[in-house]
Amino acid sequence: MRPLETPVQPGLRLRLRRRSAPTGDAVRFLRALAGEPRGFWGRGDHWEAWGGVAARIELSGPGGSPERFAQIRERARSLAAPEGSRWFGGFSFLDTNPGPRPLADDRWEAFPSASFILPRVVLRSGSSGFTLTECVHEGEAEGRLEGLLRLLRAKGGDGVRVMPGLAPPSLSGIQVTDPDALARWRRAVTRVLTEAASGGVQKAVMARILDVRMPGAVDSLRALELLRSENGQAHVFYVEPRPGRILLGAAPEVLTRIRDGWFEATAVAGSVARGTTPAEDEARARELLASEKDRMEHRLTVDEMREVLAPRLRGLSVDSGPRVLRLARIQHLETVLKGRVPEGEDVLSLVEALHPTPAVCGRPRSRALELIREVEPFDRGWYAGPVGWFDGRGEGDFVPALRSAVGGGRTWRLFAGAGIVPGSDAEAEWAETALKFEPALVALDAGVRRG
């Protein structure tokens, strides 16, 4: 298959070809694009699978740049992408290099400070059915639409459909090597609680990693299928900028969404496990809503998001109180924020203003970031950074890259975090992060071809 990549150059003339698609088999579509950059983005029945490169914009080099959001916007504008096209990608959590880390490795090598791709081909599922689009050079005769349409019309499935299995992963055959992890976690939580007691920080989100070697090579698209089927209420993302270099996950919250001039985001903080029966599930939800610690942690996130958004939006509305967001394995407190987007603001400017929220960093932001750099012995890379898409109208959709794993083949690194506030217990927060590992770990386990 010829590479579907076009060098970035100002004044590049591109146009879109669009056709209705007969089905929405995202995995079959993505498998046809093996060897090319490819990805997936969506929630429930509204999703987009993409592959190939019509244009690419990246910010790399040591540590990125604090102006990276504006730089990405300006470079995208200089390319004049066709109306209706979208740039897919994301940003690292930090805008500067975290420096040498004891547990750093090369897993984030394919994920620079900021990277966005204007895909050659996109399969989209929405309320009006399935659409296949191709971004081509002006005057280009040959395209991929007809071949992909024939593929989607062909009978038979991809052969990787998997049914959700909500039992916790047994880790049978999965090698986990980090004997110091719990002790290191206890030290991190103690450090944050000490800082909180002195008034230096109200909350800091500490992350931990789980390095795994699977019993066999993971079919990443099979893992994606499980991630989608089991996490219908989450925002599922899959980014493969280079063959075999993959980031996948299922985020519970929306960092920034803009459609038709309207903004929406969700504050998600405070957690409890799902119950094993409907009655237990309801009891745990009531317990979460009544928890002073969880409500305080949640309120810190809502308050900061309100402070950031109030001067930037018209008519900002914030839910009067949190509701319970139920995911496959965990329940969260959730508050929705909405408003009108004035002239001069767009999805990237609002992502820049909000990131990182107290849900993934802490409050106050500057001191929480200092603690993260001081305490965490690994590079977060794109973990908890904004991933999603934007277009030429300033609209888009971004979530923090949570409940995620980065890697390829048999070796993967999983990330999970917990908000540490006064009253937090290291063992309880450890158990919460273990629960947050499960979506990605179960998906990776399902992706291993056995027998």
CB atoms within 10 A of CB 155: 4
Chain CA centroid to CA 37, Å: 17
Please indicate, yes or no, if residue 28 is contained in any of the structural domains. no
Is residue 12 very low, low, confident or very high in pLDDT (cuts 50, 70, 90)?
A: low
225 is catalytic: no
Task: Report d(CA 417, CA 244) in Å as an integer.
Answer: 25
Task: Average the pLDDT over 347-357 and give the result.
Answer: 97
203 is catalytic: yes
Q: What is the pLDDT of residue 61?
A: 58
Task: Report d(CA 182, CA 190) in Å as an integer.
Answer: 12
What's the mean pLDDT when you consider all of the chain? Answer: 89
- Helices 426-447, 220-230: axis angle to 10 degrees equals 120
Maximum pairwise Cα distance, the chain: 67
Q: Which domain holds residue 239?
A: 55-118+160-447
Question: Tens of pLDDT along 270-301?
Answer: 999 999 999 999 999 999 999 999 999 999 99
Task: Average the pLDDT over 437-442 and give the result.
Answer: 94
Please indicate, yes or no, if residue 147 is contained in any of the structural domains. no
Burial of residue 344 (CB within 10 Å: 0-12, 13-18, 19+) is: exposed
Question: Tens of pLDDT along 74-115?
Answer: 999 988 788 899 999 999 999 876 666 777 778 899 999 999
Please indicate, yes or no, if residue 35 is contained in any of the structural domains. no
Catalytic residue among 195, 230, 240, 253: 253
**61-65, 295-299, 310-314, 394-398: least confidently modelled range:** 61-65
Alpha carbon separation from 260 to 114, 120, 257, 341 (Å, rounded): 26, 25, 10, 9
Please indicate, yes or no, if residue 10 is contained in any of the structural domains. no
Catalytic residue among 195, 203, 429, 438: 203
Burial of residue 50 (CB within 10 Å: 0-12, 13-18, 19+) is: buried
User: Tell me, what amino acid is at 393?
Assistant: R
Please indicate, yes or no, if residue 143 is contained in any of the structural domains. no
Please indicate, yes or no, if residue 220 is contained in any of the structural domains. yes
Reference 447, options 154, 174, 47, 44; nearest CA is 174
Q: Which CATH number belongs to the domain containing residue 292 in this structure?
A: 3.60.120.10
Higher per-residue pLDDT: 34 or 159: 34
**55-64, 75-84, 391-400, 412-421: least confidently modelled range:** 55-64
Q: What is the total count of domains within the chain?
A: 1
pTM of the model: 0.91
Please indicate, yes or no, if residue 20 is contained in any of the structural domains. no
Q: What is the pLDDT of residue 141?
A: 63
Please indicate, yes or no, if residue 109 is contained in any of the structural domains. yes
Q: What is the pLDDT of residue 159?
A: 42
| pLDDT score of 380 more than 80 | yes
Whole-number CA gyration radius for the chain:
21
